[in-house]
Amino acid sequence: MLLRTGIALLLSTALLSPAAHADSPTAPRVPEQTGWGGAVSSVDPDASQVGIDVLRRGGNAVDAAVATAAALGVTDPFSAGVGGGGYFVYYDARTGRVSTLDGRETAPHAADENLFVENGRPVPFAEAMTSGLAVGVPGTPRTWQQALRKWGTIGLREAMSPAETLARRGFVVDQTFNTQIANNATRFADITSTRDLFLPGGKPPAVGSVFRNPELADTYRELARTGLASLHGGPIGRDVVRTVQHPPVAPGAIRNVRPGQMSLLDLARYRVEEPEPTHVSYRGLDVYSMGPSSGGGTTVGEALNVLESTDLAKVSDVEHLHRFIESTKLSFADRNRWVGDPKFSQVPTKELLSQRFADSRACLIKPGAVLPAPLAAGDPRDPKPCGAAIQASPSRQDAENTTHLVVTDRWGNAVSYTLTIEAEGGSGIVVPGRGFLLNNELTDFNFVPVTPGVPDPNLPGPGKRSRSSMAPTIVLDRGELAFVAGSPGGATIITTVTQILTLHIDRKLSLLDAIKAPRASQRNAAVTPAEAAFIASAQAAGLSGIGHQFSQVADIGAATAIERLPGGGWRALAEPTRRGGGAARVVRTG
């Protein structure tokens, strides 16, 4: 305890000192860096540098992860922030234990299964997305607080201080930041508070200009000073509730921005859950991820179990990709039928992750034929070899804008953390005077039952968490950390993580090459969305020859990873080009 207190005092002094906040040139985006003392990788160089600075001053992986996440709330506010939620996975090197925090947003207690139904019909998705109806009770600040209390060495004030300074001092606008605002300019312009913050003079901030958000800086300071009481029952919370119930629609706007039902009591009641992580053994490695309410860990885990029955190191590239695509088609069929908030339905997590169930599904895959889609779900409680007992469970399109970060420290601890406000720009509603966007996470619920007559675990409900696809992943080799990985991307998170794992583990690609590889994302549909480079490949031509169909989409995911090197070093990895490229950092290079 004395050692922990001493570290906290030294680190808090360093974080709050003027020297720690000296202006410096924008750090470059680097996809790979190797060295010692710990590592951080995120989509943003300023955020990654904040995490590295925490590690250099004696903080551990949890301290740095929270500081990095807070910084991403400044520089990547259209993907994450204090108005959203996420999932935090932690590996403790001393005990060898993997633990998780479920900081997913919850529906207000006034919500029921007809939250998005009007006059017997579902609300159009585009209208639901930009509304108070879509806003879930934020879980990100409580996640930061709980992670620091359980495993950190510093407090919330110290962890959030660098991000507060970043918001006040400002950062250089890059093309990604500019484009994200331009993509949402029409709906941002319809909300006065959002327009005023992100469309100064009616246009997105120019590339190369400095963007400052002093209101967010003040919000961070107040959250930290009050130990989050200002959000969960105090002035910030009252502003959130007022905004949800009375969205600040611009005069003359014709957009139907529906009010939401959140109350101050909903904010006061919010709790972070601590479920057991998902776990599967794959090629002798232990793969841990996030359990329900996320479907990420179960769906990645089932896909890996399906692939386990084939020696993918010995098949052709076409056959490897064929089996990868079919494995996620199967696991998505089962996710859509069985996964939801475990407090509201019986989610057969253990059964979904059993090798017996996976084998009953894997035998459906044939080398020269494509499974029809949407596929029916299997019954993990009573597996029937090569059979399907439930009606088809098709996937719907999910928003694809989250962010992911990974951190390791000098002691070998690791964090894999995915956080989000759901769509790019969330609900599109900035809390007036507070500088942050509110999520539209409740649109992850199914608005009406997917399959009539079949129980749907993902309908809205009071205090319920909507199903997610986030899959922050930690891989151990005989109890020791091998690597950590994850990606943003809505439902494509599952396929991105699965593809990276099988390319690295089975096909022996370097972790960076596995991240760089062109992606496809099959989610139980007749056509597989894929990147242009994937469709143009010889492997795609071979896949088309056996019946696969592809549709071209933009970049899929923006992965980050860190791997442990022999001798205790680290290799930090990030996307070289997707979303403008990521920022991999180590404490000491070499």
- Kindly report, residue by residue over 278-310, the tens digit of the pLDDT: 999 999 999 999 999 999 999 999 999 999 999
Query: Tokens at residue 493, please?
Result: 């998170």
Asked if residue 130 lies in contact with residue 257, where contact means CB atoms within 8 angstroms, the answer is yes
Q: Where are the beta strands (DSSP E) in 228-374?
A: 278-282, 285-289
Q: What is residue 289's predicted lDDT score, i.e. its pLDDT?
A: 98
Distance CA 368, CA 340 (A): 34
Which residues have a Cβ under 8 Å from the Cβ of 495 and sit 6 or more positions away?
328, 519, 520, 521, 522, 523, 556
Q: 25: burial class by Cβ within 10 Å (0-12, 13-18, 19+)?
A: exposed
The count of other CB atoms within 10 Å of the CB of residue 211 is 22
- CA distances to 188, 355, 533 from 322, rounded to whole Å, are 41, 20, 17
Distance CA 401, CA 423 (A): 5
Query: Tokens at residue 193, please?
Result: 């508070």
Query: Tokens at residue 302, please?
Result: 């089932």
The count of other CB atoms within 10 Å of the CB of residue 510 is 14
Q: For the chain, state the CA radius of gyration.
A: 22
Asked if residue 483 lies in contact with residue 560, where contact means CB atoms within 8 angstroms, the answer is no
Place of tokens 């507060």: 164
**Residue 322: pLDDT above 60?**
yes
Asked if residue 419 lies in contact with residue 403, where contact means CB atoms within 8 angstroms, the answer is yes
Q: 391: burial class by Cβ within 10 Å (0-12, 13-18, 19+)?
A: middle
- CA distances to 315, 540, 556, 559 from 320, rounded to whole Å, are 6, 12, 19, 21
Inside any domain, residue 322: yes
555 closest CA partner among 579, 535, 534, 536: 579
**Residue 15: pLDDT above 50?**
no
Percent of the chain with pLDDT over 90: 90
Which residues have a Cβ under 8 Å from the Cβ of 323 and sit 6 or more positions away?
306, 307, 310, 312, 315, 365
Inside any domain, residue 167: no
pLDDT in tens, 16-71: 333 333 344 556 899 999 999 999 999 999 999 999 999 999 999 999 999 999 99
Per-residue confidence at 9, pLDDT binned at 50, 70, 90?
A: very low
**Residue 457: pLDDT above 80?**
yes
For residues 487-498, average pLDDT: 95
- Any bridge partners for residue 278, and if so which? 289
pLDDT in tens, 258-274: 999 999 999 999 999 99
**Which member of 100, 140, 402, 418 is catalytic?**
402
Inside any domain, residue 71: no
Q: 55: burial class by Cβ within 10 Å (0-12, 13-18, 19+)?
A: buried
Domain count, the chain: 1
Inside any domain, residue 484: yes
96 closest CA partner among 374, 462, 477: 477
The CATH number given to whatever domain includes residue 480 is: 3.60.20.40
Assign 268 to helix, strand or coil: helix
The count of other CB atoms within 10 Å of the CB of residue 10 is 15
Mean residue pLDDT of the chain comes to: 93
Q: What is residue 590's predicted lDDT score, i.e. its pLDDT?
A: 84
Q: Which domain holds residue 563?
A: 278-399+461-589
Per-residue confidence at 452, pLDDT binned at 50, 70, 90?
A: confident
pLDDT in tens, 325-372: 999 999 999 999 999 999 999 999 999 999 999 999 999 999 989 999
Inside any domain, residue 141: no
The phi-psi region of residue 544 (left if phi > 0; otherwise alpha if psi is between -120 and 50; otherwise beta) is: alpha
Percent of the chain with pLDDT over 70: 93
Inside any domain, residue 412: no
Inside any domain, residue 372: yes
Distance CA 376, CA 394 (A): 8
Q: Is 560 a catalytic residue?
A: no
